[in-house]
Structure 1
Amino acid sequence: MQVTETLNEGLKRGYAITVTAAELDEKVTAKLKEAQPDIEMKGFRKGKVPLALLKKQFGPRVLGETMQEVIDGAMNEHFENTGDRPALQPEVKMVDGEEWKEGDDVRVEMSYEALPEVPEIDLSTITVQKLVVKADDASVDDALNNLASTAKDFETKEGPAEDGDQVVFDFLGKVDGEAFDGGAAEDYPLVLGSGSFIPGFEEQLAGVSAGDEKVVEVKFPEEYGAENLAGKDATFECKIKEVKAAKAAEIDDELAKKFGSEDLESLKGQIRERLEAEYAGAARQVMKRGLLDQLDGMVSFDLPPTLLDAEAKQIAHQLWHEENPDVHDHNHDTIEPTEEHMNLAERRVRLGLLLAELGQKAEVEVTDAEMTQAIMNQARQYPGQERAFFDFVRQNAQMQQQLRAPIFEDKVIDHIADQAQVTEKEVSKEELEKEVEALEEE
């Protein structure tokens, strides 16, 4: 076998690999001899089938397997010897293609873009600021008021129902004059304006009072879950039992118990911890951007053109859809990347390669427990289909990588922060919000 370099330009590499017919025949013969003792064939005892007959019967299949093994072996040996790491899967093609026949040498062309050498960085020279926000009493009180509004009670009122009131009623739904399954209930509590009923239903109950009877006329949405009702006109015969006005819950120990706390002070403490955890998460994003900005300015190296091009196209495509939110499919013209897209792609690819290198040297790994948690978090977006989502991820290597990548990146960022000079600065919630807004605008 002979490997000859045909291209060495920047990060682009090309090689010609030749495997002689004699080498292939030798390996095929060795494979058949190894399998010979276990082969049975009509007219021969087990293990006594002549090698020539085995070659005739199984030779073509074994030859194909051997060709693939030899080429794969040559590629692996090449990467071990050179230390090259391909940025993407190498492109491999046979020179002779369909014209090749048994007895010919196998000539293969392999091309790829090598990952660049990433310069060493002294992480201890990085200085970054970590913003710290304490939850003040006003923020805790605001959160308490919000909780109280979600835990509001309803008290019977006189007069007509208004938006936000709760109407307690019996109803019977009919389509084409016939009642349908699931279309009736008694003493049903409906908050007007909640949007929990068919569009147009709640608006027609505005103004009703206890003791009233009302016929509500609506049309089921075309995309309604029950096919027998989708797009159909319906009437609901309603008997109003009671109208109740909303009353915010008292902020006291009873409210705290509704949310699983022993008393009001315990609930305040939990709220304070939750708020400060949210602030810490936002502050971490600000610190992360500061770290990445410094890293971006500390290194410069060649970037694989194919990776750059793919990243720029992805950025252009994503931003186009953000500017055209009504387009949900990909049936649109090709989005050509601009210079701005290319500049952003360069930053992302450069930092991605740098973080990968730093993570590898620091032996950063994503644990099975971390992956399981990430999958569970994603699965919650598909209620009732969690098991199907788990199975999908297990069988989809690309999806696994999409979930693993951000976890790996965050762990590398933590590693860098541990080595860097980090100073804390206490700021107000408003100051932190401005910093976060600045990130979103970039």
Structure 2
Amino acid sequence: MAVKKLNETTYEVSVVREGEELKHLKEHVLVHFKDAKVDGFRPGHVPAKVIENKFKKEIEGEILNHIISDEYRKAVAENELKPIADIKLEKYEHNDDKVEIVFTIPVLPTFELGQYKGVEAEKENVEVTDETVNEEIERLKESATKLKEIAEDEEAKNDDVVNINFEGFIDGEAFNGGKAEGYDLTLGSHSFIDTFEDQIAGHKKGDEFDVNVTFPENYGAANLSGKPALFKVKVNSIKRKEEAELNDDLAKELGFDSVEDMKNKTRENIIKREETRAENEFKNKVVEAVVNATEVEVPEALVQREIDYQINRFAQQLQMQGMKLEQYFQMTGQTLETMRESSKENAEKAVKTELVLAEIAKAEEIKATDEEVSKEIEKLAAMYGLEKDALIADVRKNGNYERFIDETNYRLVNQKTIDLLVNEAKVK
């Protein structure tokens, strides 16, 4: 066996088995096939040559697995490697007398840390003006705005919420998905095609009328794209926003004691929010500076794994919105390949950050205590509305306990490491 370091993330292992060594290995493998069923022979009495001919591919596969398994363990142990993914078979040549194998092992890179204590980063000085507070107060007022039905002789206008029944026709024929009753439509929202909303403006409650529109050329349903349509519409009700007045009653409705209390607490909330944002931005800048100060070759295997993780997480978010990844690709014109390519840069940054933080934690001997892990599990359980023991029981039931503890430990160590960097950092 010969082991060669190709680069910081890949080792190559070359193996040759021949002569008596290969012969003994074949004999060892053939033992597993001695009871194989072969027509014309009793189990256990099949000649070796017959077995070799009938199960040639299976025997070759067993020999390959034996050699790779043995040499892989030796290469890892003797060279103190840290494998991070499955091996890749680069070469496999064989005949009755000789087997040549070359495979590569993806490993964690070794690297020297750059400066990670005392790095400099900019930190925003938070200032909250009266204007910012007033804008937030306006948003709170907007949230308290109520919809009130207008008089029957009043006409609908932009920003009104109009409740309608409608049915669509193309060439006099109703089409699927073109009918609804009791639908609330905000005029001016541009949620309906063409001038649909414009043609409702000016009508009153109880009006029944026709709306003529044309579906856009790139409309999602091919059978409707570019076609003119007529909608029969009836207005059931019209509601208009009734702007809330800023007074103590409104303040109490929103959970404050008075307008003055509302303004003071709103200012406090904004300050807390902005200080948290500024602190998080500073933290991110510190970590980025530390990571940039270290040169490390990022393993492609870990990058691809991170891309898988990012895409799976995105697919789960889509699923929560009732959409599948395939539907998203159809709507956006993307493909899985283009998504993987566009995700690569962020994935490389994420992997490098993870490697550098892990190396710093090792250098600083940062660990999470059993008590800290226990408290973190309690917090997680509370988030899910569970008792700690119930969460652990659920994780054990799914067979994920060891992984769950490892991930919890990793998060704590990671956060402690970042806290160290931030505490040691200097504000520009």
Give the TM-score normalised by the residue count of structure 1: 0.58
Structure 1: how far apart are the matches of 2:337 and 2:57? 44
Paired AA for residue 356 in structure 2: L
Paired AA for residue 30 in structure 2: L
- Once the two structures are superposed, residues 28-62 of structure 1 have per-residue CA deviations (whole angstroms, 9 ceiling, x without a partner) of 321322453x4344454443444444334324421
- Residue 230 of structure 2 is matched in structure 1 by 235
**2:116–2:290: 8 Å Cα contact kept in structure 1?**
no
Structure 1 residues 187 and 79: alpha-carbon distance in aligned structure 2, compared to 1, 3 A threshold: closer
Structure 2: how far apart are the matches of 1:295 and 1:207? 61
**1:220–1:229: 8 Å Cα contact kept in structure 2?**
yes
- Residue 28 of structure 1 is matched in structure 2 by 26
Structure 1: how far apart are the matches of 2:352 and 2:337? 31
Structure 2: how far apart are the matches of 1:171 and 1:345? 48
- Residue 385 of structure 2 is matched in structure 1 by none
| Structure 1 position 422 matched with structure 2 position 423 | yes
Identical aligned pairs, as a percentage? 26
- Residue 377 of structure 1 is matched in structure 2 by none
Equivalence map 1:372-411=2 (5 Å): none
- Residue 60 of structure 2 is matched in structure 1 by 63
- Residue 391 of structure 2 is matched in structure 1 by none
Unaligned runs of 5+ in 2: 305-331, 381-406
Unaligned runs of 5+ in 1: 311-325, 336-341, 374-405, 427-434, 436-442
Structure 2: how far apart are the matches of 1:359 and 1:412? 7
| Structure 1 position 193 matched with structure 2 position 188 | yes
- Once the two structures are superposed, residues 284-314 of structure 1 have per-residue CA deviations (whole angstroms, 9 ceiling, x without a partner) of 13222123314543x4x5647989x99xxxx
Equivalence map 1:31-430=2 (5 Å): 31-36=29-34, 38-85=35-82, 92-94=89-91, 97=93, 100-103=94-97, 105-110=98-103, 115-119=108-112, 142-150=135-143, 151-156=145-150, 159-180=154-175, 183-185=178-180, 188-210=183-205, 212-222=207-217, 224=219, 229-240=224-235, 242-249=237-244, 263-264=255-256, 276=272, 280-281=276-277, 283-294=279-290, 296-297=292-293, 299=294, 301=295, 303=297, 351=353, 353-358=355-360, 362=366, 413-420=414-421, 422=423
SS, match of residue 422 in structure 1: helix
Give the TM-score normalised by the residue count of structure 2: 0.60
Structure 1: how far apart are the matches of 2:19 and 2:80? 29
Structure 2: how far apart are the matches of 1:425 and 1:303? 28
Paired AA for residue 240 in structure 2: A
SS, match of residue 39 in structure 1: coil
Structure 1 residues 136 and 200: alpha-carbon distance in aligned structure 2, compared to 1, 3 A threshold: same
* Deviation at residue 195 of structure 1 after TM alignment: 2.2
Once structures 1 and 2 are overlaid, which stretch shifts more, 113-122 or 46-55? 113-122
**2:120–2:426: 8 Å Cα contact kept in structure 1?**
no
* Deviation at residue 78 of structure 1 after TM alignment: 0.9
Aligned residues: 354
Structure 2: how far apart are the matches of 1:128 and 1:278? 18
**2:187–2:201: 8 Å Cα contact kept in structure 1?**
yes
* Deviation at residue 127 of structure 1 after TM alignment: 7.8
**1:27–1:66: 8 Å Cα contact kept in structure 2?**
yes
* Deviation at residue 82 of structure 1 after TM alignment: 0.8
The two structures, once aligned, show a CA RMSD in angstroms of 5.4
Paired AA for residue 18 in structure 2: T
Structure 1: how far apart are the matches of 2:226 and 2:147? 35
Structure 1: how far apart are the matches of 2:68 and 2:184? 71
**2:8–2:109: 8 Å Cα contact kept in structure 1?**
no
* Deviation at residue 216 of structure 1 after TM alignment: 1.0
Structure 1: how far apart are the matches of 2:88 and 2:178? 61
Structure 1: how far apart are the matches of 2:179 and 2:7? 75
**1:359–1:412: 8 Å Cα contact kept in structure 2?**
yes
Paired AA for residue 190 in structure 1: L
Structure 1 residues 106 and 216: alpha-carbon distance in aligned structure 2, compared to 1, 3 A threshold: same
SS, match of residue 55 in structure 2: helix
Structure 2: how far apart are the matches of 1:70 and 1:415? 43
- Residue 3 of structure 1 is matched in structure 2 by 2
- Once the two structures are superposed, residues 323-359 of structure 1 have per-residue CA deviations (whole angstroms, 9 ceiling, x without a partner) of xxx9967999xx9xxxxxx9x9998876553234346
SS, match of residue 157 in structure 2: coil
Structure 1 residues 89 and 177: alpha-carbon distance in aligned structure 2, compared to 1, 3 A threshold: same
**1:170–1:188: 8 Å Cα contact kept in structure 2?**
yes
SS, match of residue 287 in structure 2: helix
